[in-house]
Structure formats: C-alpha cells, structure tokens
Homo-oligomer: A and B are copies of this chain.
Amino acid sequence: MRVVRACVCGSDLWYYRGDSEHGQDAIGHEAIGVVEEIGDDVTTMKPGDLVIVPFAFSDNTCPHCENGVQTACQNGGFFGAGEPGNGCQAEYVRIQQADGTAVVVPAGNYSDEQLASFLALTDVMGTGYHAAVAAGVKPGSTVAVVGDGAVGLAGVLSAKLLGATRIIAMSRHESRQKLATRWGATDIVASRGDDAVAEVMQLTDGIGVDAVLECVGSKDATETAFAIARPGAIVGRVGLPHEAPIDEVGTFFRNVGTRGGPAPVREYLPELLRATLAGEINPGEVFDYETDLDHIDEAYQAMDGRRAIKALIRVSEV
C-alpha cells in the first residue's frame, strides 16, 4: 500500500522516549493509502483502491475473528511492532492478511477532512468505540469518559453515536473540553480524584453512571472509573493498565464489571466507515497538528510536549 496519511500514536512515544525497544523497521500502526500491488490470494481489493487499515492485522476467518475479537486472531499481529515492512510511518507498507484486515473505501473524491476521518478510524476512533461497546452504552445511557486524550475524545463521540443522552467528559484542558462538547459531551468535570468522583455522583443524584469508558490506564483513572460506576455498570477499559489493579472485592459487592482490551477495529470498521461517509461522525477533527514524513520528528515533539492531541502525517496524495 502506498501510504496517503499516517499518524503518531501515544504508544509510539514509548519508543521515541526510549521507554521501549524497537527493531530497525518503521514505527507506526495507523495509515490509510492506495493499494499498489496485491498478493495472489487477495480478492477484496485491487490496485488503485483507497483502503483503511486497522492497527492490527487479522485473517477475519478464525474462531476469534468470527467472534468479533480480531485482536486475538490466530494468524494476526500488529503493525509497526517490528515485523519487516509493516511500519506505517513510511512511504509504503506491506499489509499482511489484506482481505481480513483492510477495508476498501467506496470510490469517490474525498476532502482532506474526510481523509483525516478515515485515518482516525484505524485506531483512536475504533478504540474509543470499543470502550463504549465494552461498557454496554445504549440509547438513553448516562456515560462518563475518563481521559481526554484522542481515544477519550473518540469515546465521547462513540457514546453519542451509540445513543447516550448524557455524556460526562472528564477533562482539564480547554481545547479538549471544546472538542468533547462539540462531539456530544453534556457535562465537563475538570477536577480529579475524590473531587471528580464527588462531582460525578452529584451530577447523577448519588447514583453513578450507567457506563464508564476508561481511556487512560493509570491507577488514578482506574480508581475514578470504578468509583463512579453505578451498581450493575461496566467499566469499558481501553487504556493499557499501568500498575492499576482492580479492587476485586469492592467491585464484587457493588456488582460493577469490566470489559475491554485492544480494540478489534476491523470488527467495527464497516459501521464506523458508514457513519463517517454519512456525515454522522467526523473523527478526523481530533487531528490538531500536521506535518510530513521529513518532519515527523516535530510531530513526536509536539505530542510528547502535549502541544498536540494527535498529529497527522501527510505522506502522499490519493
């Protein structure tokens, strides 16, 4: 695939900062692009097609894929994690398991905004959506979203898409509060810790929320997420847990559950692409920084310094 747009993920910063080791191949697991050449067995796309590629590849036929958990595919794996040729911050990427992984965008002339939205579907939007699905958000739900990074914001948009009528976004940053509100947040809670819990409980008449989207993974965020869940609610987790234990006794007595993990973006892509093409969602708005491959180091710096929510890399044109 010739890459058209790529972007930088918060988890890419682990390599950038030296917190995680990486091989010599390109980093990056988020890209959309144009099919350049196909393997002999590929049947669902042809050279010239514009395709969206989830951050994980999957055959989409094994029992785990058929069960909707493509991130547990028996023949799957992840882009940009060291396998040769599949890093997405590059001019070209090899898409393993192409039929089971990439989804073709219907032919058309798409704006920069639309391309950015397709790009957001590769990870952050699908991940926020996974949090909302895992948490059991349904029409009429009161939802809280813990975390105002790109994924948390996508969680707000996902809760709205799934019909939540009240969405409490927990955010301390004005620019992120604004996007959260534009995407459907009805309430903003800017405090943290016990204060945030008290505020959410007050907003919900002491009951707690029907569904919580945990989009951070830290100890504080996890504790807050479980504390504001009403009895019977589920905390949808998509933030990779960092020393964030689950209180197995407290959650038991309160009948509070948890689900989630690496998002099966491929499962959600058809619905999210439909909603994007229909103009129901515009997840590309999460990108607030843009550069090209030659200046990608600046994108890392901007995200590392929290000057950007999410950086888009313009690699080539459709």
Residues of A within 8 A of B (CB): 63-64, 67-69, 71-72, 134, 205, 207, 210, 222, 230-232, 234, 237, 240-241, 244-246, 248-249, 251-262, 264
Contacts and interface: CB of A to CB of B under 8 A. Distances in A.
Nearest to A134: B257
A234 B257 contact: yes
A257 B260 contact: yes
A253 B261 contact: yes
10 contacts: A63-B230, A67-B210, A67-B231, A69-B231, A72-B232, A245-B248, A251-B258, A256-B261, A257-B259, A258-B259
A231 B134 contact: no
Given A67-B231, A69-B232, A251 B261 contact: yes
A260 B255 contact: yes
A149 B238 CA distance: 35
10 nearest A-B residue pairs (beta carbon)? A257-B259, A255-B261, A72-B231, A69-B232, A69-B231, A241-B248, A252-B261, A246-B246, A246-B248, A63-B207
A97 to B, nearest CB: 17
> Per DSSP, are chain A's interface residues mostly helix, strand or loop, or mixed?
mixed
A151 to B, nearest CB: 14
Nearest to A257: B259
A257 B238 CA distance: 12
Contacts of A232: 64, 67-69, 72
B260 A230 contact: no
Contacts of A207: 63-64
A249 to B, nearest CB: 5
Given A254-B261, A255-B260, 5 more contacts: A64-B230, A64-B231, A64-B232, A245-B245, A245-B246
B63 A255 contact: no
Chain copies in the assembly? 2
A72 B134 CA distance: 22
Contacts of A264: 255
Contacts of A246: 245-246, 248
A252 B231 contact: no
Contact of A262 (B68, B253, B257, B258): B253
A72 B261 CA distance: 28
Given A246-B246, A257-B259, A257-B260, A252 B237 contact: yes
B248 A259 contact: no
A237 B249 CA distance: 11
A64 B232 CA distance: 8
A88 B262 CA distance: 47
A260 to B, nearest CB: 7
A241 B231 contact: no
B258 A249 contact: no
Contacts of A260: 252, 255, 257
A259 B245 CA distance: 16
A122 B257 CA distance: 24
Contact of A72 (B245, B255, B257, B258): B255
